[in-house]
Amino acid sequence: MKVGIIANTGKPEARATIERLSSVLAARGIATLLDDESADFMGQPGGLDGPALAAACEVIAVLGGDGTMLNAVAKLGPTEKTIAGINIGTLGFLTSCTDDEIEPFAEALISGSYKTSRRSLLTATVIAADGSQSHYHALNEVVLARGQTGRLVSLSAYVDGELLNHYRADGLIVATPTGSTAYSLSAGGPLISPGAAATVITPICPHTLSQRSLIIGDDALVELTPENADEAPMIFTVDGRDIVTIHHGDRIQVRKAGHALNLLRLQGHSFYAALRQKLNWRGG
């Protein structure tokens, strides 16, 4: 077995965590490969770009937090390889364990005593007024929001070609079940179990309180368009990472991606356990 490592090299603990993970895995006969940025950070040759790392390894270990995982998914590109998040700090929604649990993580790889949580992704196509297209993938969400203006903006949403609503808001979020715990939740959207075949559309600070989140099937095609030329340009973001300027006449098509993320889960760690911890839920 080969395990790829992608680390958030901006974290102070990154170097020690890479060294410890590599050592613990090597002691069990598991080879490790580093992505190009991590290899440069460690002063080691042979770093691989994302797609090459995914092709060469059975498991990819992502060292950091949920944000590091989102960046790693974009870096790796379309892959069905198992991805494990090792959080440098407290456990996140997307991470499999913390850096204090590297030994159990290595043992789980050897014994196969882990599960995978299959997470759907979104593919978004920005179609410019001149017909040119650009394509993006998101694990959490895509967002069409107001740009430089401090005012509300008008935008329309269509589902499978039928008008859903004309929105007057700060913007609109289209999120996966995984993304239901991120920006959509902050904007008042519902929590959705990761395995649900669903997509959620959540308005950001809508002018009318009756405009609520809507859960639709994940086989639907969602299209977003700005309505007024004098409110453009707007900003389109993908997992808070890619930032695209959207002009009047542009449109955005969002649908379920053709590939998914296979997220490693250790025994005793689950989505529901993460909810209880991160949201500070308490029983009676």
Show binding-site residues for NAD(+). 66-67, 140-141, 151, 168, 170, 181-186
Neighbours of 174 (CB within 10 A): 24
Decide the pairing of beta strands 59-64 and 141-145: unpaired
Task: Give SS3 for 176.
Answer: coil
Output the known binding site: 66-67, 140-141, 151, 168, 170, 181-186
**DSSP tag of 269:** -
Cα 31 to chain centroid distance, Å, stands at 27
Distance CA 106, CA 111 (A): 9
66 is catalytic: yes
**Residue tagged active-site, from 35, 36, 66, 218:** 66
Under 8 Å CB-to-CB from 25, ≥6 apart: which residues? 3, 31, 32, 106, 109
Assess contact for 102 and 87: CB atoms under 8 A. Answer: no
Q: Are 79 and 54 in contact (CB under 8 A)?
A: yes
Residues assigned a catalytic role: 66
